[in-house]
Amino acid sequence: MVPNPRRLAPSVLVGLLALAGCSGGGTQTGDATPVTAPATIATTTAPATTTAPATASTAPAPTPDAVMPALHSRTYEQARTEFSRQDLSPTRLTAAAQHKDVTLPRDHDDWYICDSSPRPGAPLPATTTVTVRLAQDFSDCTTSFNGYLYEENDPSSAP
């Protein structure tokens, strides 16, 4: 059986490298005895100089952008808590009503998040404001008559 050259090449290469590494440490002479360089001792001293140690840059390394958390089906209060937990400022949250015919009350902490912008998992740079669309009942998140909660408020619906 003839050996496969592809399998033989790595073995030959390893063998050659091993032999090259085993050669003597000094210069070879004609009589095969290694010659070592003579040791020299410096008798002069250099003047002492003082150099400041290298210091690290004082500029902080850039931090990666935060990632938009998944807020769907949570209350507005839970979203603010999640932002604080992730070291994001809750003041970045902007609340809006999910439907055109609903006015968002001043106290909407117990309203449910139907949608958010940017989407969950998207990068969240420090300058980005997060808009969450809220509904009083979570079941209202999926109810819409052309953007209205109540069909009778939709101008395109037939009376």
Distances (CA, A) of 56 to 68, 125, 145: 33, 27, 60
Strand, coil or helix: 28: strand
Residue 90: closest CA among 104, 72, 69: 69
Average pLDDT across the chain, whole number: 79
- The predicted model gives 84-98 an average pLDDT of 95
3-state secondary structure of 13: helix
Residue 30's pLDDT is 53
Whole-structure pTM value = 0.59
Nearest to 130 by CA among 91, 98, 156: 91
Residue 48: the pLDDT is 56
